[in-house]
A = this chain, B = another copy of it.
Amino acid sequence: MSTIKYPTGIHMNVSTTIQDRHSRRGMSLESDVNDSNAYYREMDKAVIYKKPTPVQVVKVDYPARNKAKIVEAYYKTPSTTDYNGIYRGKYIDFEAKETKNKVNFPLLMIHDHQIRHLKQVTKHGGIGFFIIRFNAHSKTYLVDSDLLIAEIERTDKSSIPYSWFETNGDLIQEGLFPRLSYLKNVDARYFKEEK
Closest Cβ neighbor of A119 among chain B residues: B47
Partner of A91, one of B41, B52, B72, B91: B91
Complex formed: what's the CA distance from A55 to B55 in Å? Answer: 7
Q: Is A89's beta carbon under 8 Å from chain B? A: yes
Q: In the complex where A52-B52, A87-B124, A120-B41 touch, is A68 in contact with B79 (Cβ < 8 A)?
A: no
| A18 CB, min distance to chain B CBs, angstroms | 30
* 24 A-B contacts (beta carbon < 8 Å): A41-B120, A46-B124, A47-B121, A49-B80, A51-B52, A52-B55, A52-B76, A52-B78, A55-B73, A68-B75, A69-B72, A69-B73, A70-B73, A70-B74, A70-B75, A85-B91, A86-B91, A86-B93, A86-B121, A89-B91, A89-B124, A89-B126, A90-B125, A91-B126
Q: 10 shortest A-B CB distances, which residue pairs?
A: A89-B125, A52-B54, A70-B73, A91-B91, A86-B91, A52-B52, A86-B126, A55-B55, A86-B124, A47-B120
